[in-house]
Structure 1
């Protein structure tokens, strides 16, 4: 007895277009390409976005695309607070410190290069993680119809949030640490009395505020130089706090008015514990674990995920 079955008889009959009701959109009959998945991390400056992006990329096959409009530029690594090679933990980063410092890098430029980076990462079987404080860049990339991002990619939005009074205190202390790391000297090396502070990396907070100090320091005695420098540092702190408030307002707008499905992760307790083992444990419980479960569900439809290798966990925690 011949048990073979003709494959012709197994094919379902396709409807003829003349049989389709006129009010039906025939585009539903056209097979659509499955959308790839992208993780987007939002948050005000200083909340730990970069740290979380590396934590997630260390648990999943992922690469990071920077969306901070100052960190795209080459140079001024302390001023722009770029992650170091050691902090990257071997995770590939894109659009980080490779744009000419004096370039007029526009939102459209970002959308074009970020879109190419995301496409390249996805084509290699990796998951893109977009992270940075420039929410206008992210919004333009996700919503601009010219790039068809929404039709090609499904997004998971994570928001690292910290109560503003706590964050303001932290960013002020961070500015002090940046000064200790050489912020003043770094800006002094690129100081130009004819500088245009409306374009390029010189727009970064920390550069315009020191202009008067570098213009006049050689004409002042030690006491007045010290006072002028303290005033400049205080202005850097104030402008950084203002930036954090603007960034938070934009996130609320994206969530409440644009209706983005944003997952909020409250990291306030982490910053209240001011570093050390307790802060690291709070970061793990309040940020890493919930965000990793969200991403696992988003990427694979599962809440189970591989544990971070011990050596890598130590590097991330450190």
Structure 2
């Protein structure tokens, strides 16, 4: 750490707290990052120092109970810090981003009125982004659709919903796969409730004059907790093992039994894993194993299903962590930096700023995460300034270079959807769809595609293009 940065942290930590609270302006702190990186811990540490209160920004932690599968911080570890928007919703209820934004804004206003600091903590990044910027959401009414025909269409089979979306908004229909039921229904719902296609709303939100003044809060400091992904994978695997030891299966069985007895209602069926709590990683991965327990006593078969579920859960968690990193770099970071340019800021002062904190090593957590976050937050909330984000640690200089998504909503009219015919063959002829040139190029370079391409070539050369019986058996077993 160079002398200037070291002096800044020393000065920040040594500030007298009473003087800080007297000069502090209304502001907001957000903590983002991958699952399992320590966001909740940092939230507690900041809240204790800054007289802050925590607002949950994780879409799964809004549900009552189910503490293990949603990875809530235990009550005895919250150190009497108020936590809002956590553990209040029934499992069968849906909580939309519009609901979150409305509720969070009311809580933030109340926290500010009590001269406290709101600290948003969560891994649902579109929740965070929709809260921090005014024009990230589409302003549609919350009332139910009154037209009976429209209601029937929204609740119809996925292909019917998709065909209707193709008629009213072909741009969005070309973006989503027909079986992506949540997104397809959402796009169609926007049209049915507003009379304007979803794609037109998105284009309007990206007009320069709207984007230039969309930040909600005058001082917003974002901490991005980052860990080397290979190191994080091992940490996540260990956490999943602890979840199982702590009663993960009991929670999943609780959900399953209450669905079957009718105590929990699932509007789209208990096999639809795209709504509400059913999206939580762990439920769908172990569902075949728990179903088999009720039907079979074959220990070897059950153990195989259990192991497959465990591996699937770990793999899904790894993928989710990488998705979160991509979102932060492609969406959140880019938007922060664009706001800085629009406000004619110099990149390390102004209305919004994002700092990357290196959480790779747990041994250096206090120095690299806690102490740096506290010093930066105090200075930023008091003066609206802080150190150059690229100087905070060695990773920041590289990772704080935003990688704008080439398939951004701003170019929806140029979006192209592709079907991979090779991988479709090896997917029981269920279409394998990729969206946009960037995703298509990534798919063509993937190990899965190359493996399927090699197999197809072997079949064409040796089997006259027909799948041999041994492959059909293997595929069915998989």
Normalised by the shorter chain, which TM-score bucket? 0.7 to 0.9
Specify the alignment match of 2:250 in structure 1: 185
Q: Once the 2 structures are TM-superposed, how far is the Cα of residue 168 of structure 1 from its aligned partner?
A: 1.1
**Do structure 1's residue 156 and structure 2's residue 238 form an aligned pair?**
no
Alpha-carbon contact 1:49-1:160 (below 8 Å) kept: yes
| Aligned equivalents of 1:143, 1:164: Cα separation in 2 | 29
Say which of 246, 249, 257 aligns to 2:323. Answer: 246
Q: Deviation string for 1:33-53 (max 9, x for gaps)?
A: x97200000100000000000
Specify the alignment match of 2:276 in structure 1: 200
**Do structure 1's residue 171 and structure 2's residue 236 form an aligned pair?**
yes
SS in 1 for 2:244: helix
| Aligned equivalents of 2:327, 2:100: Cα separation in 1 | 18
| Aligned equivalents of 1:255, 1:105: Cα separation in 2 | 22
Q: Once the 2 structures are TM-superposed, how far is the Cα of residue 269 of structure 1 from its aligned partner?
A: 1.9
Q: Once the 2 structures are TM-superposed, how far is the Cα of residue 219 of structure 1 from its aligned partner?
A: 2.5
Alpha-carbon contact 2:25-2:381 (below 8 Å) kept: no
Say which of 224, 231, 241 aligns to 2:308. Answer: 231
Q: Structure 1 regions of 5+ residues with no counterpart? A: 1-33, 271-278, 304-318
Q: Once the 2 structures are TM-superposed, how far is the Cα of residue 197 of structure 1 from its aligned partner?
A: 2.5
TM-score, with structure 1 as normaliser: 0.77
Alpha-carbon contact 1:202-1:208 (below 8 Å) kept: yes
| Runs of 4+ residues over 6 Å off in structure 1 | 146-149
Q: Deviation string for 1:112-167 (max 9, x for gaps)?
A: 11111111111111100001000011111112337997344421000110011111
Q: Once the 2 structures are TM-superposed, how far is the Cα of residue 254 of structure 1 from its aligned partner?
A: 3.6
Q: Once the 2 structures are TM-superposed, how far is the Cα of residue 60 of structure 1 from its aligned partner?
A: 1.2
Say which of 108, 131, 134 aligns to 1:141. Answer: 131
Specify the alignment match of 1:269 in structure 2: 361
Q: Structure 2 regions of 5+ residues with no counterpart? A: 1-23, 140-212, 261-268, 338-352, 386-478
Alignment of 1:13-32 (within 5 A): none
SS in 2 for 1:137: helix
| Aligned equivalents of 2:223, 2:216: Cα separation in 1 | 20
Alpha-carbon contact 2:54-2:84 (below 8 Å) kept: yes
| Aligned equivalents of 2:355, 2:77: Cα separation in 1 | 25
Number of residue-to-residue matches in the alignment: 260
| Aligned equivalents of 2:319, 2:358: Cα separation in 1 | 20
Q: Once the 2 structures are TM-superposed, how far is the Cα of residue 83 of structure 1 from its aligned partner?
A: 0.7
Higher relative contact order (CA closer than 8 Å, sequence separation 6+): 1
Specify the alignment match of 2:122 in structure 1: 132
- Measured at CA, do residues 153 and 117 of structure 1 come closer, stay the same or move farther in structure 2, by a change above 3 Å? farther
Q: Once the 2 structures are TM-superposed, how far is the Cα of residue 75 of structure 1 from its aligned partner?
A: 2.1
**Do structure 1's residue 258 and structure 2's residue 342 form an aligned pair?**
no
| Aligned equivalents of 1:80, 1:237: Cα separation in 2 | 14
SS in 2 for 1:59: helix
Q: Once the 2 structures are TM-superposed, how far is the Cα of residue 255 of structure 1 from its aligned partner?
A: 5.2
**Do structure 1's residue 210 and structure 2's residue 292 form an aligned pair?**
no
Alignment of 1:99-118 (within 5 A): 99-118=89-108
Alignment of 1:17-96 (within 5 A): 36-96=26-86
Alpha-carbon contact 1:40-1:157 (below 8 Å) kept: yes
Q: Once the 2 structures are TM-superposed, how far is the Cα of residue 245 of structure 1 from its aligned partner?
A: 0.4
| Aligned equivalents of 1:54, 1:116: Cα separation in 2 | 21
SS in 1 for 2:65: coil
**Do structure 1's residue 284 and structure 2's residue 361 form an aligned pair?**
no
SS in 1 for 2:27: strand
Q: Give the superposed CA RMSD.
A: 2.1
Alpha-carbon contact 1:50-1:83 (below 8 Å) kept: yes
